[in-house]
Chain A
Amino acid sequence: MARRDARPSASGARGPLRREREITTPEGVVLRLNLADRGERAAAMIIDLLIMLAVIVVMILVLIQSLAALNPSVALSLGLIGFFLVRNCYFSFFELRWHGQTPGKRALGLRVVDRRGGQLRSDAVFARNLMREIELFLPVSLVLSQGDTALDAGAQLLAWIWVGIFVLMPFLNKDSLRVGDLIAGTWVIVVPKGLLLDDLVAERDASGSGSDATPVFTFTERQLDVYGVLELQTLEDILRRDDKAASEVIAEVAARIRHKIDYRDRAAWTDQKAFLDAYYAALRARLEARMLLGRHKRSKHD
């Protein structure tokens, strides 16, 4: 898990492909968030629907049990009100209470946020969930009324086309917004997770200053100006690897860099990891210093 999280999704090449959106926080800082995909959202909704169903079943069982004490009409009206409340308040209740999450969304790590970056307001929560009435409950009741002869075939077809527009809305726009999201101005995003790994330079600093065993590498400016930010961060990824093939990759990369920068110190052959660590630290210091002066070297071709 940590491995995957350590990888930025921004690079695009690796890691799961997610659609990124930017929001500007009220403090004026742009944050990038990943949109949840349709599958995740559907799964979250199914979990929520199952919970709703369970609540309703329990409610019915309790009411049946209490029939002895309650008048049937009172029990029935309690049941009706209860069903109404579960159907219409479940999503809003949790999204208000749990900061844009329902049990299903929490299980999948999803969250509702305001598209403008402001606070998620209660009216937005109400508005987006009221729309479920036609996005979800109307199609369901249409399916259930299939056998109903009151509606003729033509009317049924029209109803289906009609409902289809709402149901398929998440497939009709690039942010996979459903109609409720469109109206409320919300997005469903993936709650970001990430581990702060130790700074590669820090490891070096701690181990390097203590023992004499680690050889000291020095690089000339020409040797550091060979690469840019892209190569630096690729190197970072490689140095953070801890799988089986890591040592082979390190040896290969070390050889390639040695060749490219024409590095002749023998120590670079004996301790390849230390060589790469040193090169990484020096390259980062060099590139960061250049960045401060406004010279941003994106890659070796830059």
Chain B
Amino acid sequence: MADGLPKSYAFRREREQVWRDLERLVTKAEKQGIRALDVEEIYRLPTLYRATLSSLSVARGISLDRNLLVHLERLSGRAYLSVYGARGNFVDAVAGFLWRDFPAAVRASAWHLLGAGGVLLLGVLAGLFLTLDQPAWFYTFVPESLADGRSPTSTAAELRSALYPGFFRVDDTLYFFASYLFTHNATVGFFCFALGFALGVPTILLLLYNGAIIGAMAALYARHGLSWEFWAWASIHGTTEILAILLCAAAGMMLGAAIVLPGRDSRTDALWRQGRLAGRIVVGAVALFLVAGLLEGFARQMVTDSWGRAFIGSVMLLIWISYFGFAGRRAGDGAA
């Protein structure tokens, strides 16, 4: 009867040990994590995986033992997940990300960033000129919580005192202030990005609206000849924070653009490609929000001189420009 034995039986007998070995390694990696494997096992895993994968290909061609086929398919699937799962640890991923991936992603999205900047500028100009022309617009643009008692009827002294909080002592409450600003602003940034999925429209509206608030505020101060003091006050953290918001918005617009104008790809593919790039940008923007929170929470309260504020603001802007312009460029994949 030996001649009647199927060929797949000999096939299995020859390779079964490899499969069993692979199964043992994969089970260990699944239960205890890939780090539980020792050096030799780590070295063997890909070899065993490829051998099993080739067994699967052969088995599909020659074997009709369904249990064997199903098992090989599943074992290959499990091994595939172990071999090609997300690699590396959280800290390494973050470090490599900040130094290489993030600036590269920002460079790749330069046009969206410019677009977002343009939309924001449009909002600022609209708010500025409308309110300069007709102070009542201030009430339309600026919500009461932000106005903080300031209105077109405020005197120059009142407006000025809002910029220089003399009562604000440098003490521990600043920690809370800074961390609140950070978490709040970062969350706003995430929204700005995530809402981009709805064809980018809400992102653009948010930019226009926030631009208009800034413009209306600026107009309020301009009417009292306090423009310089206002912009210096805003710039110390604003250069960082607005850049971060613009990054999130650019990322959101990339999502919207991928859906509206997928180009040669299918929409799903375009979304997939742009989504990753956009995700990178938003995660990186968190770092900017952190810096902005510190500047707004501490530096703005401690530096009460307009020149000092403007100086810090411009230095930060220069730092960001050189960071995005040059960081990680040598490391290579400029295309991201």
User: Do these two chains really belong together in a complex?
Assistant: yes
Chain A residues in the interface with B (C-beta under 8 A): 6-8, 10, 25-27, 29, 31-33, 71, 73-74, 76-78, 80-81, 83-84, 88-89, 92-93, 95-100, 111, 113-115, 117-128, 130-131, 133-134, 138, 162, 165-166, 179, 182-185, 191-197, 199-202, 205, 208, 216, 229, 232-233, 236-237, 240, 278, 281-282, 284-285, 287-289, 291-292
CB pair A84 B186 closer than 8 Å: yes
Q: Is the CB of B53 within 8 A of A25?
A: yes
Output the least CB separation between A229 and chain B (Å): 6
- Tell me which residues across on chain A come within 8 A of B231, comparing CB atoms: none
Q: Are A73 and B176 in contact (CB under 8 A)?
A: yes
Please give the residue numbers on chain B whose beta carbons come within 8 Å of chain A beta carbons, in ascending order: 1-2, 4-9, 12-13, 16, 19-20, 23, 30, 33-34, 50, 53-54, 56-57, 61-71, 73-78, 80-82, 84-90, 93, 97, 101, 105, 171-176, 178-180, 182-183, 186-187, 190-191, 193-195, 197-198, 255, 268, 271-273, 275-280, 282-283, 286
Q: Is the CB–CB distance between A194 and B74 below 8 Å? A: yes
CB-based A-B contact count at 8 angstroms: 247
User: What residues of B have a CB within 8 angstroms of the CB of A185 in the complex?
Assistant: 271-273, 275-276
The interface residues of chain A lying within 8 Å CB-to-CB of B50 are 27
Q: Which residues of B contact A27 (CB under 8 A)?
A: 50, 53
Query: B183, A122: Cβ atoms under 8 Å?
Result: no
Q: Are B9 and A201 in contact (CB under 8 A)?
A: yes
Note all chain B residues with C-beta closer than 8 A to A233: 64, 66
Closest 9 pairs (CB-CB, A-B): A127-B279, A99-B85, A183-B275, A185-B272, A192-B74, A77-B179, A194-B74, A285-B6, A77-B175
B7 touches A183 (CB 8 A): no
A183 to chain B: which residues have CB within 8 Å? 197, 255, 271-272, 275-276, 278-279
Q: Which of A111, A123, A166 contacts B81 (CB 8 A)?
A: A111
CB pair A97 B176 closer than 8 Å: no
Known: A127-B278, A284-B6, A288-B7. A74 touches B66 (CB 8 A): no
Contacts of A118 in B (CB 8 A): 84
| A119 partner, pick from B67, B86, B175, beta carbons under 8 A | B86
Besides A166-B197, A193-B78, A237-B66, 6 more A-B contacts (Cβ < 8 Å) are: A74-B176, A96-B89, A99-B85, A121-B276, A183-B276, A291-B61
* A285 & B178 in contact (Cβ 8 Å cutoff): no
- On chain B, the residues within 8 Å of A191 by CB distance are 30, 78, 81
B175 in contact with A182 (CB, 8 Å) = no
Across-interface contacts of A285 in B (CB, < 8 A): 4-7
Interface of A, secondary structure class, is helix
Question: Are the CB atoms of B186 and A292 closer together than 8 Å?
Answer: no
Contact A291 B176 (CB under 8 A): no
| Chain B residues, CB < 8 A from A29 | 53-54, 56-57, 76
Q: Which residue of the partner chain B has the closest CB to A175?
A: B268
Nearest chain-B residue to A237 (Cβ)? B66
Contacts of A237 in B (CB 8 A): 66
Interface centre among B56, B68, B73, B88 (most CB of A within 10 A): B73
A121 contacts across to B, CB distance below 8 A = 86, 276
Check if B191 sits within 8 Å of A134, measured CB to CB: yes
Q: Least Cβ distance of A187 to chain B in Å?
A: 11
Bound CA–CA A27/B77 (angstroms): 13
Question: Interface majority SS on B: helix, strand, loop or mixed?
Answer: helix
User: Contact between A32 and B85 (Cβ–Cβ < 8 Å)?
Assistant: no
Chain A residues within an 8 Å CB radius of B67 = 6, 196-197, 236, 240
The closest CB in chain B to the CB of A26 belongs to B84
A99 touches B86 (CB 8 A): yes
Contact of A127 among B71, B84, B276 (CB under 8 A): B276
Q: Which residues does chain A contribute within 8 Å of B173, judged by CB atoms?
A: 73
Q: In the complex, what distance in Å separates the CA atom of A122 from the CA atom of B92? A: 10
A77 engages B78 (CB within 8 Å)? no
Partner of B176, one of A8, A80, A184: A80
In-complex Cβ contact of A122 among B7, B12, B97 (8 A): B97
Q: Can you offer 22 A-B residue contacts whose CB atoms are under 8 A?
A: A6-B67, A10-B70, A25-B80, A33-B77, A76-B176, A77-B176, A77-B179, A80-B179, A83-B183, A89-B90, A93-B90, A96-B88, A99-B81, A100-B81, A113-B81, A133-B194, A183-B275, A194-B71, A199-B65, A281-B5, A284-B64, A292-B61
Chain A residues near B283 (CB, 8 Å)? Answer: 123, 126, 130
Q: Is the CB of B93 within 8 A of A96?
A: yes
B87 surroundings in chain A (CB, below 8 A):
119
Task: Return chain B residues, CB-CB under 8 Å to A80.
Answer: 176, 179-180, 183
State A182–B269 Cα separation when bound (angstroms).
Answer: 9
How far is the CB of B42 from the nearest CB of chain A, in Å?
A: 14
B66–A236 touching, CB < 8 Å = yes
Complex contacts, A236 vs chain B, CB 8 Å: 65-67
Chain A residue with minimal CB distance to B13? A202
Cβ contact within 8 Å between A202 and B66: no
Cβ-defined contact, B187 with A182, below 8 A: no
The answer to whether A97 and B90 have CB atoms under 8 Å apart is yes
Q: Are B191 and A133 in contact (CB under 8 A)?
A: yes
Contact A131 B194 (CB under 8 A): yes
- Contact of A130 with B193 in the complex, beta carbons under 8 Å: yes
From residue A75, how far is it (CB to closest CB) to chain B in Å?
A: 9
Given contacts A80-B180, A123-B280, A287-B64, contact A282 B172 (CB under 8 A): no
**Shortest beta-carbon distance from A256 to chain B in Å:** 20
Which chain A positions have C-beta within 8 A of B182? 81, 84
With A192-B78, A196-B19: A98-B33 Cβ-Cβ less than 8 Å: yes
